[in-house]
Structure 1
Amino acid sequence: MISLKSPAYGVPPEPPLKRQKLVGSALSESKTMTAQTAAPMADLSEQLDMQERKKYSKGKTLGRGTYADVFLATLKSDPTKTFAIKKIRIAAEQDRIGISYDTLREIRCLQELDHPNIIKLYSVFSTKDQNLNLVLENLPRGDLKQLYLDATIRYSPADIKAWMLMVMRGMWFCHSSFILHRDIKPDNILIASNGEVKIADFGLARTFVDPGQKRPMTHEVITLWYRPLELLFKAPYYGGAVDIWSCACVFAELVLRQPFLPAPTESSLSQIRTICERVGSPTEDNWPGVSKLPDYVATSEVTPQRTRAAWLAEFRILGEQGADLLSKMLALDPDKRLSAEQTLRHPYWTSAPRPTSLELLPKKGGGLETMGKDLTRRGGELPVRENGEAKNGRADGVARKIDFGGGLR
C-alpha cells in the first residue's frame, strides 16, 4: 500500500526548494556594471545564447499565434529527448523595454517552480532577431479540455480524482512558493506522455504581496468563466483563494464535461449573475465585508447558497466527500474557501475509489497540436467569440461518458 506521504496522495511533501537560475541572456542576474565591464559582459551573454541554441534541432511547427510560435525540438546530443520551444515575438510586444511583463512573469515564475505537476522550463535563449525562446517540457497528450470533449474517451470518478489530485499538488507547490497562477482552466492543464497533468501558462502569474506592504493588485486576471466574485467586484487585495475557485471550476467541468459557470455574454455583470444562480448570492451574512468592495452589486433577488444536498445531487459521482470538497472550494467568501494545503488534506482523496494510477489513466493521442495552440495563446483569453458573444464552451453533442465500473447509469 502506498503511504499517504507519497506524492500519489494528498498530504503535501516538504516545502519547495528554490531552483537555480537558468542560463540565458534574458535571465542572467542583474549586476552593477561599469562602462569597462558592460561590453565584455554583453559579448559573454551572446556567446552563452549561441551555445544554448546550438544544443537543439528545431522540428515541425506545433502552433502559430500573434504572440508566439511553438516548435517541436530535439537535443542534438540525444535526439530521443524532445522539447517544445516557445518562440516569443519581441517585435509584437507592446512594452517599452521590448519584453512584456507577461513574458517576464512567466519566465521568472517557471525558474522558481520545479514540480512534477508544473510544466518544466529547461532553458531560455535569444536569437539574432532578439526573439526569446523558451525551451519547455514536451507534453504531447494535449490538455484536459481536449480530453473531456472527446466523446470516445470514457473516464471514471477515480480518474477525475487522480487528475484533480495532480492539479492541486501543483497548485499547492505554486502557493508554497508564494506564486499565484491567476489563469487556471482546463486549456492550461497539459498532459504528459505518461499521463501526468501539468499546470502551464504562467503569463498572468505573480508573487504574493507581503502582508505588511500591501499594494493594490489588478482584478483583470483569470479567464472570465473561472474568475471568482472577489475579482469581479474588483477587490484590491487577494490571495491563493482566487486559484482555488478556478481549480474548483475545473473539477466540476471534468464531471459535467462542459464548463460549470459559463456566462452567456462576455461581461462581468453576466458572470456575476451566473455565479449567483449556480452557487448563491453574496450577502453580508455569508460574506462579511462584501458590500464594501469597489464594484459590489446587490442582486435584486437573493439566491440562497447552494445546500450540501444540492451539491451532492448534481455531483453524485464524486460521492459525499467529493461534493463536500467541491462546495468548500467554491465558498463565496474567499476567507472561508479552502487553501491548497487544506484541499489536499481533505478526506476525499483517501476515500473510495482510490485515484487511478498513472499507467491506467485514459490518454488521448494527437495532442501535440493542442499543446502548440495552448502555448501560443496569451493568458486570460476566452474561447473564440461568435456574433459578439463568448462561446458557451459546452460540449454539444458529446455524451457524458463517465464509467461507473458497471456501465453508464
Structure 2
Amino acid sequence: MDLAARENGQRAERWNKGIKIGEGTFANVYKGTEKATGRKVAIKKIKVGEMKDGLDMTALREVKFLQELHHPNIIALLDVFSVKQNVNLVLEFLDTDLEAVIRDKALIFQNADIKSWMAMSLRGLEYIHRHGVLHRDLKPNNLLISANGELKIADFGLAREFGDAGSKMTCQVITRWYRPPELLFGSRFYSTAVDMWSIGTIFVELILRVPFLAGETDIDQLKKTFHAMGTPTEQEWPGYTKLPDYHDVGAYPKNPWWNMISSIGKEGQDLARDMLKFDPLTRPSAKQALQHRFFSSYPRPTAPKALPKPLAELRPRELAPDETKGKPLLAPSGNGPMKRKAESPQAAGRNVARKLVFA
C-alpha cells in the first residue's frame, strides 16, 4: 500500500458514517460523527465512478473553495479523503437551513430576525467576494443554520473565481428563481452583482414567506420579474437590449412592488430596491449593503442563539446536480410541486485529473 492510500485510510477511519440526509445523482450526504470526540459532522460522498469523465469541475471547485475560504458564515471543511472511486468531504454538521425556516408556518419571526439572517448572509458573501469568488447558486436551502443559530453559506459547486474583467463565464448558473435578468438575457461577462440579486430575492422571500419570483421557464421568469417590477427602460438599464439572448417579453407598467414588503419598514424596502435594481452596475456590493441604514436602525438584529428554528430535523434534501435538472419539490402551500431549477455550467475540461492533492 502506498503512502497516499495509507493516509486516506487513516483519514477515513477517523469518521463514522450514519444515516443519509441528502442525495443527488453524483453525491450523497450522510450524518456522521468523529470517532474520537463524538462531534457530529456531515460527510458528502462524491461518486466519481458515476461521472462519465471522472471527477467533474463542480466537485473540484467545491473542494478548492472550501479549502481556501474560512469564515464564521461559511460552512467549514474539516477533512477530505478518498475511498475507491469516491471522494469524501467532511463538513461541519448544520441541522437546518433557511428554506426550512421560511416554510415552517409554525414559526413566527420578526423583522429583527430577518435582519439577523440577512446580516449573516451578507457577511459571508462579502468575505467570498473579497477573496475573488462568485458563489453563483445562492438560495434559501444553500444557507444552512447551525445549532447555535449561525447562518453559513454552503454548496460551492457552481462557484467561480473572478477578477479579470474580460473573463467570459456561463450564464447557465443560479437557480432560476434567484437568477438575475442579465443572466436570463445571456450575459457572459458579469460580477458580484449576480449574487446580490439572489440575496435580494431571498430577502423578499423571508418577508413574504413564499418565493418572490417563481418562473417555470427562463421566459416565464423574465415575464414574472417584469410583471412585478415593470419592464426596464434604456435609461434604467443602459444597453440591456444588446445582451446576447435578449428578446422582447412584453411591456409591463412600473409597479411600486416594494409596497408588498412594507412590513419590513422603509429602510428594509430601500435595501431590497437597491439589491434588485435591473442594472447590475447600480446594485450595491455586499459591503455597501452591510453599511445600509437598515442594519443600524431599530430593531437591532436578533442574536443568532435567539433566532427561531424548526423543531424537526432537516429532511433529506436534493443536491446539485439534481437541482440543475429541476426536480420538483413540494410547494410551500402544499398545492403541487415547485421547481428550483438551475443549469450547471458547461463542463469545459471535464477530463480533469482524478487525483487531488489536499492540503
Corresponding residue for residue 240 of structure 2 = 290
Partner amino acid, structure 1, of 2:226: C
Partner amino acid, structure 2, of 1:89: K
User: RMSD in angstroms over aligned alpha carbons?
Assistant: 1.8
Q: Secondary structure at the match of 1:70?
A: strand
In 2, Cα distance between the equivalents of 1:236 and 1:381?
Answer: 19
Mapped contact 1:124–1:133 kept (Cα < 8 A): yes
In 2, Cα distance between the equivalents of 1:393 and 1:339?
Answer: 31
Q: What is the CA distance between 1:392 and its match in structure 2?
A: 8.8
Corresponding residue for residue 11 of structure 2 = 52
In 2, Cα distance between the equivalents of 1:300 and 1:361?
Answer: 42
Structure 2 gaps of 5+ residues are: 336-359
Corresponding residue for residue 228 of structure 2 = 278
Correspondence list, 1:9-408, <5 A: 43-79=2-38, 81-94=39-52, 96=53, 98-127=54-83, 129-140=84-95, 142-211=96-165, 214-263=166-215, 265=216, 267-304=217-254, 306-307=255-256, 310-311=257-258, 313-370=259-316, 373-374=317-318, 376-378=319-321, 381=324, 384-385=327-328, 393-395=331-333
In 1, Cα distance between the equivalents of 2:250 and 2:72?
Answer: 46
In 2, Cα distance between the equivalents of 1:139 and 1:244?
Answer: 24
TM-score by length of 2: 0.89
Partner amino acid, structure 2, of 1:188: N
In 2, Cα distance between the equivalents of 1:52 and 1:254?
Answer: 40
Mapped contact 2:41–2:90 kept (Cα < 8 A): yes
In 2, Cα distance between the equivalents of 1:48 and 1:169?
Answer: 36
Q: CA 1:70 to 1:302, structure 2 compared with 1: closer, same or farther past 3 Å?
A: closer
In 2, Cα distance between the equivalents of 1:300 and 1:73?
Answer: 51
Mapped contact 1:86–1:134 kept (Cα < 8 A): yes
Based on CA coordinates, which of the two structures has the bigger radius of gyration? 1
Q: CA 1:254 to 1:382, structure 2 compared with 1: closer, same or farther past 3 Å?
A: farther
In 2, Cα distance between the equivalents of 1:111 and 1:157?
Answer: 34
In 2, Cα distance between the equivalents of 1:158 and 1:181?
Answer: 26
Q: Secondary structure at the match of 1:369?
A: coil
Mapped contact 2:120–2:150 kept (Cα < 8 A): yes
Partner amino acid, structure 1, of 2:244: P
Report the count of equivalent residues: 335
Q: What is the CA distance between 1:66 and its match in structure 2?
A: 2.1
In 2, Cα distance between the equivalents of 1:336 and 1:147?
Answer: 31
Q: Which runs of 4+ in 1 moved over 6 A?
A: none
In 2, Cα distance between the equivalents of 1:302 and 1:279?
Answer: 8
Q: Secondary structure at the match of 2:281?
A: coil
Mapped contact 1:143–1:367 kept (Cα < 8 A): no
Mapped contact 2:222–2:249 kept (Cα < 8 A): no
Structure 1 gaps of 5+ residues are: 1-41, 386-390, 398-409
Mapped contact 2:150–2:305 kept (Cα < 8 A): no
Q: What is the CA distance between 1:351 and its match in structure 2?
A: 0.4
Corresponding residue for residue 18 of structure 1 = none
Partner amino acid, structure 2, of 1:271: Q
In 2, Cα distance between the equivalents of 1:192 and 1:215?
Answer: 35
Q: What is the CA distance between 1:382 and its match in structure 2?
A: 6.8
In 2, Cα distance between the equivalents of 1:64 and 1:348?
Answer: 38
